[in-house]
Amino acid sequence: MRIVITGAAGFLGSHLCDHLLADGHEVIGMDNFITGSPDNIAHLAHNEKFSFYKRDVSNYIFVPGKVDAILHFASPASPNPQSKSGYFNLPIQTMKAGALGTHNCLGIARAHNAKFLLASTSEIYGDPEIHPQTEDYPGNVDPIGTRAVYDEAKRFAESLTMAYHRFHNVNTSIVRIFNTYGPRLDLEDGRALPNMIHQALLGQPLTVYGDGSQTRSFCYVDDLIDGIVKLLYSDEHFPVNIGNPNEMSILQFAEIINKVTGNTAGITYVDARSARDPQRRRPDITRAKSILNWEPKVSLEEGLRRSIPYFKQKLGIA
């Protein structure tokens, strides 16, 4: 196939490029580099099946030649208010990527009779009132809260995707991505895993907010990409959760990171950041298992061991 990937220079987009090229497809990457990095796709510069266009997908985009599929992964995703590339500091761009960007990409899919796959997020569930989260749960989201520019952009993108499927008969899929980690993840991302790995590799105590009882589940990037590609090849149109259902407390997670990295600085506790920070997050992957025959294979400790050399390189640690 000839496949367009927006957000191709991002963490997940670049891994998707690698996987789909390895599957024998031709890949056209698009990114405007406001959050993605040219370093993530530099190794593809001499690949004859890869081409790249610097584009902002919230503006009009044109792709010459045929298109068999378009995967829309372009969006700021970091919740770190100190990061220039986080959605707190790019609120309008985030909303445009989810609204105008999705509209433009769906237009390409419709014009070429191509498959469209939307990268959505577990954040559409907000601070969930059911646990674990199933795809039919509508969520508990504050539309004007501090995280709303990202949450609501993705919720709108899902609605628009289903409208194009139902009204224009576009072949669409929606993946709801849960916490993912691995090489190329930005250590300034602001979420628990990159924060703690950053601190551990520098020999610092790991910061735990509150008592550390809040929970997360973490999926290694290779597992996640495998699930996304299976969804791309499927005929499923409704949202599918892709993530690791192995839930643990943030405190347990911090202890594992210290163990794997050999960090002896321990843990420090600080006041909880925000009442709007979700307290529990875990995917129900029943649909992914039954429809895609997918479930994660890489354990947290193994995934961390695979990731640490990359993070050490980025930090300049031998």
Catalytic (active site) residue 53: no
* C-alpha separations of 114 from 29, 75, 86, 191 in Å: 16, 21, 31, 34
Lowest mean pLDDT among 24-28, 38-42, 272-276: 272-276
Lowest mean pLDDT among 1-5, 18-22, 26-30, 130-134: 130-134
Single-letter code of the amino acid located at 272: A
pLDDT at 275 over 60: no
The residue extents of the domains of the chain are 2-181+220-245+283-297
Of the two residues 275 and 277, the one the predictor is more confident about is: 277
pLDDT at residue 277, as a whole number: 61
Of the two residues 169 and 186, the one the predictor is more confident about is: 169
pLDDT at residue 258, as a whole number: 96
* Percent residues over pLDDT 70 in the chain: 98
Q: Cβ neighbours of residue 198 under 8 Å, at least 6 residues apart?
A: 187, 188, 311, 315
Lowest mean pLDDT among 11-20, 40-49, 98-107, 209-218: 209-218
pLDDT at 113 over 60: yes
With CA atoms as reference, report the closest residue to 136 among 236, 234, 238. Answer: 238
Distance CA 257, CA 211 (A): 17
Q: Average model confidence (pLDDT) for the chain?
A: 94
pLDDT at 273 over 80: no
Characterize the bridge pairing of strands 215-217 and 247-249.
Answer: antiparallel
Of the residues 87, 150, 164, 220, which is catalytic?
Answer: 150
Distance CA 305, CA 22 (A): 24
With CA atoms as reference, report the closest residue to 276 among 125, 127, 80, 91. Answer: 127
Q: What is the pLDDT of residues 131-173, one digit of tens each?
A: 999 999 999 989 998 889 999 999 999 999 999 999 999 999 9
CB atoms within 10 A of CB 306: 16
CB atoms within 10 A of CB 313: 11
With CA atoms as reference, report the closest residue to 7 among 228, 230, 166. Answer: 228
Q: Which fold has domain 2-181+220-245+283-297?
A: Rossmann fold (3.40.50)
Find the mean pLDDT for residues 258-280. Answer: 81
Concatenated DSSP letters of 261-293: HT--S-EEEE----TTS-S---B--HHIIIII-
Q: What is the pLDDT of residues 241-268, one digit of tens each?
A: 999 999 999 999 999 999 999 999 999 9
Distance CA 107, CA 104 (A): 5
Distance CA 272, CA 83 (A): 19
pLDDT at 11 over 90: yes
DSSP code, position 133: B
